[in-house]
A = this chain, B = another copy of it.
Amino acid sequence: MTKAERVRKNIKESAVNLFGRLGYEKTSVDQIARLARKAKASIYYHFDSKLSIYRDVMEDEFRTLRKSLEDVRERCTEDEAECLSEYLMVRMEEMLKMPIYANYMKDRIVNHTLGEVSRTVRSIRKDFDEWEYRYFRHVGEVGIRKGVFSDRVYPDMFARMLVNILKGLEIQLFVTDDRDALRSTYEAMVEILIYRNPALVVCRQANESQNDKE
């Protein structure tokens, strides 16, 4: 790691600290510089603008979120419903470890307008959504083929719906901070998504009554 990279990293650490606690507007470049023990002008040697620092650390947050979710995907490949449930739980926990994004969400809700900052975050978020859409569609394809989910929904519909529902619940998560409420909501959602094939239900009931007799 070169010296320049080390300095850049140091600046980013200061930025994470401040953006995470104060948000974009309330953090000044001078403050980042002081915390990184550099002059304000030095910050502009390593970064183009305040916004580019913000974008950089925000991207990092989403990168580590992706990494965590990739781990879940690899770890769990058996039952699609179980898998999805686990995925959503980890997703929630990891999102609560994203202070900069959480702060942005809160700011957005109360201030209603952040201009170019919003545009930047939306672009990062769009990449993440598309990445996640691809996964959901894959889960949908496999799940529908196996009969775990109803074959009346197409994988594309299935994935799009999930992405949008999760976006809504996310706001709730950051505003209320009530992870337990969200957990049960996720569980209920997965439960509803699972296709209760009438034939299978009858079959299962038959099995159970047979087990009772034994």
Contacts and interface: CB of A to CB of B under 8 A. Distances in A.
Interface string A4-41: 00000000000000000010001000000001000000
Contact of A22 (B22, B35, B110): B22
Interface residues of A, dominant DSSP: helix
A26 B26 CA distance: 6
Interface in A130-153: none
A26 to B, nearest CB: 5
Contacts of A35: 110
A22 B23 CA distance: 10
A49 to B, nearest CB: 21
Interface residues on A, range: under 10
Nearest to A25: B26
Nearest to A110: B35
Nearest to A111: B34
Contacts of A22: 22, 26
A119 B41 CA distance: 32
Residue among A22, A26, A35, A110 with most chain B CB within 10 A: A26
A27 to B, nearest CB: 9
Contacts of A110: 35
A26 B21 CA distance: 11
A154 B79 CA distance: 73
Nearest to A106: B21
A26 B23 CA distance: 11
A98 B110 CA distance: 23
Interface string A34-52: 0100000000000000000
Q: List the 4 closest pairs (A to B, CB-CB), nearest first.
A: A26-B26, A22-B26, A22-B22, A35-B110
4 contacts: A22-B22, A22-B26, A26-B26, A35-B110
